[in-house]
Amino acid sequence: MTPEDKILERLEAIEGRLSDLQASKESSSMLLSELTPIGNHAFRLIVEEMETLNGRVTLDDILDLGRKGLLTVPRLTWLLDQLENATDLWKILHPAFAPTFPHIIEKMGEWEKDGVFEKMSAFKNAGGNLLGSMSPEDIAKTGEGLAFLISQLQRLADPDLQAKVTNLIDMLGEIDTANVKPTGVFGLIGALGSAEGKQTLGLLAELIKVAGKFTAQSASK
């Protein structure tokens, strides 16, 4: 190859590179022409948003936000560590609890069919309506009444009192209301002459004594 050929070859290579550069320049110019309107529009939007924030957000606010963000880094790190620990715990507990989940879902399905959740919702609504219709004073009085009722129910734990209540219920159960006949004064006197009648008179005497005792105590108060 002669020197002239080498020079021509180099010139052709240079011309090819210049053509590539020209094409790249044209592509860049086209891209820039397409991006320029988008950039201008975005810049206008940023300016408009900054104008709306004028007076509301200051540089001190931004610096304070950045400072608080840096101060929360240790807390975020601790939170991520706790999340990792919880994940590890779940990996340990999952094999033990996983078999129970289908049973829980099945049981909840049965409760749904039986209307348990609907009843709970109705009970919640009823409680809300009740509380809504009561003033704070009414609620306080109701609480006092419930406390009194519970204290009286606790007295039923006394075996002697239980025996008396049982005897009273049994006595009422022995009364045959279907065979009750009209009785006058003489019939009553005759009934009181029997052993059962005398026992009843003794019971009435005890009731009168107890009633008089409580009446005297109430009068003294």
Task: Say if residue 6's pLDDT is above 80.
Answer: no
Give the DSSP per-residue string, 139-189. HHHHHHHHHHHHHHHHHTTSHHHHHHHHHHHHHHHH--GGG-----HHHHH
Percentage of the chain beyond pLDDT 70 is 83
Task: Say if residue 23's pLDDT is above 70.
Answer: no
What was the pLDDT predicted at 81? 84
Q: Which pTM does this prediction carry?
A: 0.32
Q: How far is CA 126 from the centre of its chain?
A: 17
Indicate the average pLDDT of the chain: 79
Going from the C-alpha of 42 to that of each of 38, 45, 46, 170, the distances in angstroms are 6, 5, 6, 93
What was the pLDDT predicted at 4? 66
What was the pLDDT predicted at 138? 84
Give the C-alpha separation, 161 to 168, whole Å.
11
Query: Average pLDDT in the 89-113 region?
Result: 79
Give the C-alpha separation, 15 to 21, whole Å.
10
pLDDT-based confidence at residue 195 (cuts at 50, 70, 90): confident
The one-letter amino acid code at 115 reads: G
Query: Average pLDDT in the 88-102 region?
Result: 74
Task: Say if residue 65's pLDDT is above 70.
Answer: yes
Give the C-alpha separation, 172 to 159, whole Å.
20
pLDDT tens digit sequence for 75-93: 888 888 888 888 887 777 7
